[in-house]
Structure 1
Amino acid sequence: MLDGVLLTPLRRISLDAGDVLHGIKSSDPGYVAFGEAYFSTIHYGVIKPWKRHNRMTLNLVVPSGSIRFVLYDDRPNSPTQGKIESTIVSPENYQRLTVPPRIWMAFQGLSQELNLLLNLADLEHDPEEIDRAELNFVPFDWTLNS
């Protein structure tokens, strides 16, 4: 993983009436503070292009569908500068992806059903702290079966 990025296995408790899917506790690694929680969907095959938060820490959970997250580190003096990482998060691979500030991220919907992510962020949304880039900003093979 890139420096500062965490992938934390989460508990999924199966009950007869329906499952309980853990998200985050204040005692968990990756928890910084609470700013807001929001859900986002992404359609099958669609890629949401590169975005970098300058101050916000993201804690991403995928309770439905399957989403590929691709991360790129261009931080000066980072031990993983120039590296690209890819990971898939889904109910079958139930984890929380923690992305610290200044890491570029793009993501793609992999399921033909509902692809839903929850971001448990440490800051409220502020469009002034986000940098955006076109999809070709970082070379990556977005082929669905790769």
Structure 2
Amino acid sequence: MEKLRLTDFVDDQPWNDDIPFLDDVPVNDQIEGVRLQRLSTRADKRGDLTVLLSALKEPIVSPPHIYLVSAEPGSIRAWVYHKRQSDRLAYTNGEIRVVLYDLRADSPTYQKLNVLDVGAANKVLLTIPPYVVHGVQNRGTVAATFVNMPTNAYDPANPDKSRVRYDHPDIPYTFV
């Protein structure tokens, strides 16, 4: 019996289709510095593949820290912001509402609010710059997950996360 060799393998064919990935998606009244990009899924009989972040189209800051977040049905994770990093959140499943609020006094979108429904029906990569307040709610009936690929590694000795409670009266949004 002949042994398997590397030359027995067949190279993959190039992607020769019109499936776009990581195209920008406009948001009404978009908060300055926030970026929303469409995630596209390629599927075959084995399953599917979704590119979450790539330098194929433009240079990126490599993620030094990547983690998966699970959100139980109805759960709320709000309100937070970061001083030294941008969050890059990939939503590919579930029914998640993301709410962004601009509290940067020097921003042209100061006090603007963006509400985004993302997940299985709207797969996106959301980039949130420093000092933009954000929160998420799982509006579905099953657990949902999302991946964060921030621009800085999490430092447990010096966390870059500031919080207020999810029902703070000075943020013009109520999670229901």
- What does 1:1-146 align with in structure 2 at a 5 Å threshold? 1-27=30-56, 31-126=60-155, 127-137=158-168, 138-143=171-176
The percentage of aligned residue pairs carrying the same residue is: 26
The alignment's TM-score, normalised by the length of structure 2, stands at 0.75
For 1:22, the aligned partner's letter is V
Structure 1 CA distance for aligned equivalents of residues 58 and 136 of structure 2: 23
Structure 1 equivalent of residue 20 of structure 2:
none
Relative to total residues, which structure has the larger strand share, 1 or 2?
1
Deviations 1:79-126 (Å, cap 9, x if unpaired)?
A: 100111110111221111110111111110022122101001111113
Structure 2: runs of 5+ lacking an equivalent: 1-29
Please provide the CA RMSD for this pair. 1.7
CA contact (8 A) 1:25 1:31 kept: yes
Structure 1: runs of 5+ lacking an equivalent: none
The alignment's TM-score, normalised by the length of structure 1, stands at 0.90
Q: Which runs of 4+ in 1 moved over 4 A?
A: 27-30
CA contact (8 A) 2:92 2:122 kept: no
**Which structure ranks higher in relative contact order (CA pairs < 8 Å, sequence separation ≥ 6)?**
1
For 1:141, the aligned partner's letter is T
Partner-residue secondary structure (3-state), 1:19: strand
Structure 2 CA distance for aligned equivalents of residues 118 and 31 of structure 1: 17
